[in-house]
Amino acid sequence: MTQTPLQASVAYAHAHTDAFIEQYKELLRIPSIGADPACRADVRCAADWIAAEMVRLGLDHVQVLETEGQPAVYGDWLHAGPEAPTVLLYAHYDVQPVDPLALWVTPPFEPDVREGKLYARGAVDDKSGVFLHLKALESVLNATGKLPINAKIIFEGEEESGSPTMEPFIRAHRDLLNADAVVISDGGSSTEIPEIGASVRGIVTAEVHVKGPDRDLHSGGFGGVVHNPTHMVARIIAALHDDEGRIQIPGFYDAVLPVSESARAWIEAEEPNAIEEARKEVGTKPFWGVPGYSYLERATAQPTCDVNGIFGGYQGSGTKTVLPAEAGFKVSMRLVNNQEPADIAAKFLAFVERFTCETVDIEARIISSGWPAEFVTTGPIAQAAIDAYAPTWGHAPKMSRGGGSVPIVGMFQHVLGAPVVSLGLGHGGGVHSPNEYYNLSYFDKNVDTAIHFYFNLVRG
């Protein structure tokens, strides 16, 4: 019996699954840690690898585009005709740092398959979004000679750093990136029930440095007479929250809106499962947070302010009795719908400025920011994504409100004005942690999902 173009494309993908996985290991071996200056050449290597693969597949206008930070990779295939939709496919090829390295069972950039799982940094987040889209496109092009849609592809190299230079990049390349819809393929599912994103929180990240003397001083000679920078760091951090976790930055909550009825219904329905899954990650310790909110509301629909790291002073074994010359901390603030990153950034800087004094120098800077965003969850584009899962996974997807941030979503919405839909192609665990892995039993399912999505966009 003659196969339809969709069936032929899926058959091609299944016939090449093993070869695809072996090729995926090539990309996973490249240590594209975008936030680490020491890996800048590796990030460029990953971008070049992806660009070469796009050329091999027959995509047009392939180029590695410079940004003020890490390069982006672009390519397109625009031969489906003016009646077909033009879709911008997005994923990121940079990965998280690997620390603590000692907790990895095998080296993070030496992909290793154990019990059906492919272990490597970036295996899920988010080289899967890059590679599996490329393999889905390859499958359709090789099986049918053409795509059912006009496709533009943009792969970013600094998402794990908060996409600090991507907004001016998008503005500068607005015409190149313009599309009828944007598809975000970042992360994916972790259970047998696929997930499709409904929202992500925004983010503002910052760093504070407190400087005292020009060198470390003997605490016996200068303790009590020279202001210790670590003491000031502790004072600022302690002032960020009250005893119950409420953020004390003046005006921080001013723009926060009550949770919508639809979000409230989702939260109530998913609360038991969310707590059960969270227990697997954090153990038996009680959850903590501002009273009056459920676990999921605090995790996805309320803003946060978290200290991510503190530095200063002696960190080795034993003691070293010094007053450190400098100390500091890093902070991330998650924002919810209606909060503006620029406003929260300004309020954080004003909060830190209140601690200005003559005895130490305090410097605060914003590192990155991104809007909170809502994905399209109804209408033809969202339905094309939703309907791509049942024939591939055997389950309809469930909606998922994200507690994390994908800054590029808000940038696409604000700059391009295009609807954005979520289509994660990863499946596994250990994201941002040691021993990140992709569950290979879902590899072909996710390639199939992307293929079905392309064809669903032009049905009817």
Tokens 């109804």 -> residue = 378
| C-alpha span between 197 and 400 (Å, rounded) | 5
290, 264 Cβ separation under 8 angstroms = no
Q: How far, rounded to the nearest angstrom, does the alpha carbon of residue 143 sit from its chain's CA centroid? A: 32
In which band, very low, low, confident or very high, does the pLDDT at 460 lie, cut at 50, 70 and 90?
low
Determine whether 359 is exposed, middle or buried from the number of CB atoms within 10 Å of its CB (0-12, 13-18, 19+).
exposed
Please say if the pLDDT value at position 416 is more than 60. Answer: yes
Per domain, the residue ranges of the chain are 5-200+373-456, 202-256+303-370
| C-alpha span between 303 and 179 (Å, rounded) | 31
Closest CA to 384 of 434, 334, 421: 421
Task: Domain 202-256+303-370: give its CATH code.
Answer: 3.30.70.360
Closest CA to 182 of 90, 72, 59: 90
What is the pairing mode between strands 437-439 and 112-114? unpaired
- Window from 228-242, 265-279, 321-335 with minimum mean pLDDT: 265-279
Residues whose CB is less than 8 angstroms from the CB of residue 423 and which lie 6 or more positions away in sequence, other chains included: 183, 184, 185, 196, 385, 388, 449, 450, 453
Structure-token pair, residue 271 = 């609360």
Please say if the pLDDT value at position 18 is more than 90. Answer: yes
Please say if the pLDDT value at position 28 is more than 60. Answer: yes
Q: What is the mean pLDDT of the chain?
A: 95
In which band, very low, low, confident or very high, does the pLDDT at 285 lie, cut at 50, 70 and 90?
confident
Residues whose CB is less than 8 angstroms from the CB of residue 175 and which lie 6 or more positions away in sequence, other chains included: none
What is the pairing mode between strands 420-422 and 426-429? unpaired
- Average pLDDT of span 19-24: 98
Closest CA to 126 of 455, 458, 446: 446
pTM for this predicted structure: 0.85
Structure-token pair, residue 115 = 């019990």
Angstrom CA distances, 56 to 30, 43, 49, 211, 392, stand at: 19, 20, 11, 53, 27
Q: What pLDDT score does 168 carry? A: 95
The backbone torsions φ and ψ at residue 163, rounded to the nearest 5 degrees and listed phi first, read 55, 50
Determine whether 8 is exposed, middle or buried from the number of CB atoms within 10 Å of its CB (0-12, 13-18, 19+).
middle
pLDDT over 70 percentage in the chain: 100
Structure-token pair, residue 363 = 């410097």
252, 305 Cβ separation under 8 angstroms = yes
- Average pLDDT of span 76-105: 97
Q: At what angle do helices 5-15 and 17-28 cross, to 10 degrees?
A: 60
Sign of CA dihedral 354, 359, 361, 364: negative
- Average pLDDT of span 155-181: 95
Query: Omega into 100 within 30° of 0, i.e. cis?
Result: yes
In which band, very low, low, confident or very high, does the pLDDT at 190 lie, cut at 50, 70 and 90?
confident
Superfamily holding 5-200+373-456: Zn peptidases (3.40.630.10)
